[in-house]
Structure 1
Amino acid sequence: MEEMVASAVVQEAVSGAVSFLFSSRGEKASQEELMERLEMAHMRLNLALERTRMMPITIMTLFCLKKKLKDVSKECGDLLSRARDRQQMVPSVRRKIMHTVLPSFIVPSQDVLSSSLVGRFERFVKEADRYVRDVESGCSLSHYRFLSSPIRHLLQGKGLSYDMVQGSKAFSLLVLTGYMEEYGRVAVLKFDYKDRKAPLKNCELTLILRIYESTNIVGITAKCLRSLGPQFKSLVEDATRELTQLPTQDVSYFDSVWWESMVKVTTDWNPDPFWCIANGVNKPCASNIISSELTGRFPQEVLFVRFTFSFSASEYCFRSSTDEARINAIKAWPPPQMKVYFAPHLSFGFHDGSSLRQKEEEIQTEAIDCFIRQPGMTEYNMVWTSVHGIVSFYVLKQIAKTRRAAKRRR
């Protein structure tokens, strides 16, 4: 009886092992087929990204789609790598039989691929094909004919310049453009406003920004000027008025030159090109980004802002000194120069706990106080950091020209 039971158990085990081996062969064939489909999907995703790598993207939504396809391609490549590693770890026949004979030790199937999983990437391939068609149609020159003149020329890689002199006032605007694969069409804009009769109204504004079909470059520049803080209000009013009244028919266009230094500034001040366009196209920054005082000041396209101006030291010296002789000496100083650097999308990962408005209100007074206490010091700087965005302030004490030096120059 015992021999019959033992024989039956062995026969059942052998039968189960054979059945397992045949089913395993079928599963292996299925895994190989899925592997081929996944490899094809990965190649097609990479092909779409490679074909459009140097094509100028002029619509923000396409940047969001590009980011998604890059993430999917990476996910597909990682899965493919794991599947290949799994394929090389084929269990021995003996272990398969042991799993069949001892069902309590059977390990669940660890196959990496499934039809539904591979099908997901194949669906993304169709989206990638549509993405390529959308980018290619956007690159057609005829596509720009419906856009306003300035943005049409800038998207086509042209530069822009405008100069105006009227009495004591001089106004200039220069825009250089270039294309960077991860950032799209990027412009460096320099706006310069000078008034010989009122030197304290002189200011310079430099912007680095992405440009899309919907970009109003004059409007963005004006908004950046207005976003500099209430203490700069009177300073930028004249400059903003001149800018918004810019006669576009008098603007000159030329073949733009894109220098390596511009690329470096762009990448240094905005190292992650997709940081703020991963989600929420119509929001200043993506919904997964922690907001700060700086986030809402500038449009999402703006990567970097530099604002330079001069101010009267006497307006701030009364807060720093009560010595009349010292105050008179300060009044004789040439107007100190101040430079403010805004990086709306750069982060050191922490907040210094202070208010940006407070820093802007304190910087000039603190700089004058420092120059009074340390007469040999000619530069004072302060940095404001947040989780999202940083600002750097620099106040430069100008050296008064002596009469002797003036005679030597003559």
Structure 2
Amino acid sequence: MNLKRISTLALGALMAMGLYAQQNLSWAQMPVVSPEVNADNSVTFRVLAPQAQKVQITGDMLPTRKIDTPMGKYDAPGVADLVKDDKGVWSFKTGKLPSELYTYNVVVDGVRTLDPSNVYCVRDVTNLFSMLLIGGGQGDWYRVKEVPHGTVSKIWYNSPTAGLKRRLTVYTPAGYETSKEKYPVLYLLHGIGGDENAWSELGRAAQILDNLIAAGKAKPMIVVMTNGNISQEAAPGETPNGFTVPTLMLPKTMDGNFELAFPDVIKFVESNYRVKADKNDRAIAGLSMGGFHSLYISANNPDTFGYVGLFSAAINKQQTSGVESERVYDDLYGKLAKLFAAKPKLYWIGIGKTDFLYKDNADFRAKLTAKGYPFTYMETEGGHIWRNWRIYLTEFAQKLFK
């Protein structure tokens, strides 16, 4: 064997040893286990940060705290301190938690970030959250189970009223592609800052519908998840505008333009999907701003929807810009008189006890009661949070199209 050959083999051996050493080092530095769901449904969080001075966790599995904002006091996720061990691993163990889907962040020396040991995360407007799921109860509706699965599609449609090509997220139930059956439709609307991805990603809408339908608790239905920001084509980063920064401050969100353009959505769905196109096979529901939109879309179209759901809904128009489109908000109770005269099958309202919109909802319910308008009401713990809206969708969906 010549010297050049020996040198090449030696170099290869050294490189292999270096790679092996790097692999061993990478395994030695693998992230700690976090989160760890314990047998009693407590959760242990761990963060390897030997140089950090302070590590905390904040999330909806912790008791809420009140924070001051320019608009008043609001519930915010609780905060807990982690304790550091002699290996530089910080840890915190919760008490026993109810079955639920939880979101959280790690805070290292004042900087909020994702849990570095947890690859599962979700975006809510401008924030990213790590997530975990505890089964054995309500959280089981949000799991992917061994049941027939529906299809979630991102569909573009033309909105002549908005002057844009826009995108919808559409859930079709298991069996849709292979059957000739026609299905009822739930139009499901998000809150301010959200988009057509919100209900499928944060709201677990597909998992909820899959599991409810498989359990025989909900009728097979199509769910159309709109983008309620009428100035947007689609979710941030998924349009020709590129990687724009998500924001709450979008034009035309609550000035009547979305309500006026909503018939474009219905026309597209009923022209392109096998649906039952009558009032008692259409439902509309939404959270917060989406509840506001659902309230006024249904009020302005009293013969269109047999089912209406208001989840922590904004009720009152807060600002007036004077544009012509705002006429859709005029004479709400005159319009509701026509809606209830048309006898909707279900008018459903849900809100948390500490929601900042609680009083507006209480006043609205009092007016409905005084006028003799029938509605179904659900009150839950907590405030203006996805934890409540997933519960409301789970309950509302079971009451539709029966």
Q: TM-score, normalised by structure 2?
A: 0.25
Which has more radius of gyration? 1
Which structure is higher in helix share? 1
- Write 1 or 2 for the structure with the bigger share of strand: 2
